[in-house]
Amino acid sequence: MTEAGPLSTEQQEQLSDAKERARSFMGAARAATFNVWSIGIFAALTLLFGIFSLTGFLLGVGLAVVTWNEYRGRALLRSFDPAGLRLLGRNQLGLMVLIVLYALWSIYQARTHPDPGLTQMDQILGGDTSGLVASLTTIVYVGVIAITGIFQGMMARYYFKRIPMVEAYVRETPDWVLDLQRTADLS
């Protein structure tokens, strides 16, 4: 004679079905985990190396805020709260704005405040090194803006498109399964 487990066969099927359905949106939590670590590392490095630069400090603080929001959004999503995906989507848009502003500031700086060392090199070589550097800086940062717009825009869309999935999941999943997944982190 075999002993019955704590869950009936029907409950085991409900739990298995719920775990399978959650896969459609829990990849977003893994993406957020990656973002927490990668953006967090960039925030720390930016703050560390930009401590004597107002621009570097502000960029580092901005990245730290993005990291914190990514962490919070991930936690909400892992508890099956659609607000987590809304936060994650808006956070990607905020990161996009932060990077675009930094790129525009860098273009402005290169064009209006050339490096004094380049001015001296211009005098020695008789050329326009600072103009070349400003043009190259503009090209690089316009590329950064374009790539950021595409990538962060797609990430925001990825998060926003999963909101209805989480809402349906919460509606269709028995409360006891949701409680178990939230406490045992079985998602």
Question: What per-residue confidence (pLDDT) applies to 153?
Answer: 97
Distance CA 49, CA 41 (A): 12
**Residue 135 falls within a domain, yes or no?**
yes
Question: What per-residue confidence (pLDDT) applies to 42?
Answer: 96
**Residue 157 falls within a domain, yes or no?**
yes
Q: With beta carbons less than 8 A apart as the criterion, state whether 187 and 19 touch.
A: yes
- Exposed, middle or buried, 49 (CB in 10 Å: 0-12/13-18/19+)? exposed
**Residue 5 falls within a domain, yes or no?**
no
**Residue 8 falls within a domain, yes or no?**
no
- Per the structure, the count of domains in the chain is 1
In this structure, what is the dihedral angle of CA atoms 18, 19, 23, 26, given to the nearest 10 degrees? Answer: 100
**Residue 13 falls within a domain, yes or no?**
no
Nearest-CA neighbor of 109 among 46, 147, 55, 50?
A: 55
**Residue 7 falls within a domain, yes or no?**
no
**Residue 155 falls within a domain, yes or no?**
yes
Question: What per-residue confidence (pLDDT) applies to 2?
Answer: 46
**Amino acid code (one letter) for 12:** Q
Question: What per-residue confidence (pLDDT) applies to 118?
Answer: 63
**Residue 172 falls within a domain, yes or no?**
yes
The pTM score is 0.84
In this structure, what is the dihedral angle of CA atoms 162, 163, 169, 170, given to the nearest 10 degrees? Answer: 160
Task: Print the domain residue range for 145.
Answer: 23-182
Distance CA 10, CA 45 (A): 51
pLDDT tens, per residue, the chain with 187 residues: 445 568 788 888 888 888 888 888 999 999 999 999 999 999 999 999 988 999 999 999 999 999 999 999 999 999 999 999 999 999 999 999 999 999 999 999 988 887 766 666 666 666 666 677 888 999 999 999 999 999 999 999 999 999 999 999 999 888 888 888 888 764 4
Distances in whole angstroms, Cα of residue 171 to Cα of each of 61, 74, 142, 163, 167: 38, 20, 44, 12, 6
